[in-house]
Structure formats: structure tokens, C-alpha cells
Amino acid sequence: MPRIIAARRTAVVPKGGKFALLEPHELASPVIHACLADAGIAAREVGELILSNALGGGGNPARIAALAAGLPEHVAGLSIDRQCAGGLDAILLGHAMVQAGHHEVVIAGGAESYSRRPLRSRTFADGRPPEPYSQARFTPWPDRDPDMAEAAAELSRKIGITRAEQDAWAQRSHALALSHAACRVREITPVGDVSEDAFTRNLTSRHCERARVVSGDITAANMAVAADAAAFVVIVSDQMAKRLNARGLTLIEGATLGAAPDQPGLAPISAIKHVLKRADVDHKILARAEVMEAFAAQALACIRGAHLPDEIVNPAGGALAQGHPVGASGAILVVRLFHALRTGDAPALAAIAAAGGIGSAALFEAVE
């Protein structure tokens, strides 16, 4: 079985912060270097780089990142865009490539710069001026293609998640992130002088009460802030893992499934249930679950819908305490699991929702 033998990320920095002048490849390059150093693998041994990026200007950012990181020219670079799920899906795709025997070594993950994303406009053939837009279309039906915050607000109304519950979950995320700050040292590769997540703070009830309302019960306090970051893992064949005598993670089962496009927050539930059933793993025995917190309402809906015990979910805090670098967020979940799991632990879960009604989930276990 292929094995993840190294996993690193940058700090997560809110849009307009210390990463504001860096392009995605400039965030990716130091993480790729750190991953290879941790793995004890030379750049010449890399067969492919898979990079998730959701907000860039197109082209092939994976190729740019591969060249910027000094990978050999034969590493073509594969860019994917599955929005929030892309970072996790890049890892699932990299695993499949190695398992199929296409490559011995694949680097996979994501890099996102909210700060540097280009402005986009639609053009018209009738001479009207271009019309700027901030959110791409994710369905062919405008009435089933909601703004993400509006979808989260509707979700909270639909299943009865109160603002108080959402605010409490956000406070929990920050409190756990603060109390587990030392754990992040192993995850984070410094970029310049930035080596800590910039957004984590002592979030109080008073802060939550005064937070700007975005839509319904969704506020600036109970949704993840737009952010810049990169995260990658190194996936190797079983033979190479044995040669390197490397510990790491193995993928037990992974899946990406579609669901109702107008309720993207619920999409991970079916993906979680699917991987648990395929792997014959009971949710009650999971060691840990890293669930994306784009919105507290969305996270709580997934946790309840998949019957995950609260105490195993994001025990070191989640995206509400860090930020949401869209294309990198799914990979950050796996980086967290890589550094948290130990041999002998029960399997652990990573799960994330994406625009358009998409959910990705993966089960991992630690191995020597």
C-alpha cells in the first residue's frame, strides 16, 4: 500500500496579512522543500506534483510550483480545482497514481492565495461592459447555486442549529487551537518570519455577540476567515517506504461524492458514511476526525449527520481558529492527522464540503 511519509504546511494567514504579496507557488515552494527533507527523498525521485488551487488565474499552477521548487523538468505538474475539497482530493488522486504504479513518489496538496486572486469578469457579445463577479457558478441553475454564507444560514435554519451553538463551537475551536499551539510546530514550515497561525485568539462570548452578521445566524465569528496558505504531503510506494524505513499514514478508504447542490454543507455526510461502510469501520471507534469548519453551522451539521462524537472532532481546533485557504484546506486536515496519529491508534477521518454539493472523506491509519 502507498504511504504518506511526510506532511507539512505553512502557517494560515488571513487575506491581506503577511502573505499578501506571495503568489501560490511562493507559498508552495518552501513546503515542498520541507516535505522532501523530512522524507529523505531527493527532488530527482519525484514523479508528479498534484496541486489544488481554486482562486487563481488558471493556467497550470502546479507546473509553476514544481519549477519554482526546483523539481526536475520531467515533473509535469497537475492542477485540480474542486474548490474546498481539492486539497484532500489531490492526496486521494496522488495515492491512486502511486497505487497504480504510475509513480514511486508523488507530492500532493494545495496552495491558495486569497490575497492575490485575480479579479474576474463576464463578457458579453452585445457590447455591454464586463460584469465583475466574485463567486464562480457551481450549478447550471441560479436558484440552486447559493452564496456559501447564505447556504450555511439556510442550513442552520433547516436543521435547527442556533447561533448560540455556532458561537460556542467557534469558541471551542479557538480555545483548543490555543491550548494545542505546541502541536503545530511540527506541522508548520516557516515562510519568512511567519511560523504561527495568525488568526487564533481568545474568542469570547462578547466577541461573538458583537460580530458582524453576514447572513442569518452566520457571523464573522462563526465562519472561517478567507486566508492564504499551502499544504503538501509526500506519497510513496510500499517498496520505497520500506527502503526508507519510514513511518507514516496509509489510506484505508477515500471517496468524493456529490449531493444536493443547494446544500453543500451536508455533502460530506454521505461521503463519511460511504468510506466507513466500505472500510467496515464503526464511527464509534474512530481515534480522531478532522472536519472542515468553513462555517460552524456546516461543521455541526456534518458532525451530527455522521454521528461523530464531539470529543474526537478537531481536538486541536479547526479552520474557524485558523482560516480557510480554499484549495489548501483539505490538505491541511491530512497534515494534522499525519502529525497527530501514532501506530496502534484506531483509524482517523478527514472530511470536507465543497461548493456545488460535493463532499470528500478519507480514512487513514498510522503505520511503522
Tell me what the mean pLDDT of segment 111-129 comes to: 93
Spot the catalytic one: 25, 95, 103, 324: 324
CA distance 327 to 329: 6
Q: Per residue in 29-63, pLDDT tens?
A: 999 999 999 999 999 999 999 999 999 988 999 99
Tell me what the mean pLDDT of segment 199-220 comes to: 97
- Give the pLDDT score at 141: 87
Residue 111's pLDDT band, with cuts at 50, 70 and 90, is very high
Asked if pLDDT for residue 127 goes beyond 90, the answer is no
Residue 277's pLDDT band, with cuts at 50, 70 and 90, is very high
Tell me what the mean pLDDT of segment 314-332 comes to: 98
Scored b (16 or more CB within 10 A) or e, 85-109 reads: bbbbbbbbbbbebbeeeebbbbbbb
Is the separation of the CB atoms in 5 and 246 below 8 Å?
yes
Asked if pLDDT for residue 246 goes beyond 90, the answer is yes
- Answer yes or no: 84 catalytic: yes
Spot the catalytic one: 35, 84, 208, 302: 84
Tell me what the mean pLDDT of segment 64-85 comes to: 98
Residue 139's pLDDT band, with cuts at 50, 70 and 90, is confident
Asked if pLDDT for residue 216 goes beyond 90, the answer is yes
Q: Are strands 105-113 and 131-133 parallel, antiparallel or unpaired?
A: unpaired
- The dihedral of CA 336, 341, 345, 347: what is its sign? positive
**Nearest Cα residue to 67 out of 59, 80, 118, 153:** 59
Cβ atoms within 10 A of the Cβ of 188, count? 22
- Give the pLDDT score at 134: 83
Compute the mean pLDDT over every residue in the chain, rounded to the nearest whole number.
96
Asked if pLDDT for residue 343 goes beyond 90, the answer is no
CA distance 220 to 224: 8
- Give the pLDDT score at 189: 98
- Give the pLDDT score at 137: 87
CA distance 68 to 223: 33
Asked if pLDDT for residue 84 goes beyond 90, the answer is yes
- Answer yes or no: 324 catalytic: yes
Asked if pLDDT for residue 144 goes beyond 90, the answer is no
> 3-116+170-367 has which fold?
Peroxisomal Thiolase; Chain A, domain 1 (3.40.47)
Q: Per residue in 147-204, pLDDT tens?
A: 899 999 999 999 999 999 999 999 999 999 999 999 899 999 999 999 999 999 999 9
- Give the pLDDT score at 136: 85
For the whole model, what pTM was predicted? 0.96
Tell me what the mean pLDDT of segment 65-75 comes to: 98
- Give the pLDDT score at 368: 85
Question: Percentage of residues in the chain with pLDDT exceeding 90?
Answer: 90
Residue 145's pLDDT band, with cuts at 50, 70 and 90, is confident
Tell me what the mean pLDDT of segment 202-212 comes to: 97
Question: What cell does 128 get?
Answer: 455591454
Asked if pLDDT for residue 239 goes beyond 90, the answer is yes
- Give the pLDDT score at 135: 81
Is the separation of the CB atoms in 49 and 65 below 8 Å?
yes
Asked if pLDDT for residue 133 goes beyond 90, the answer is no
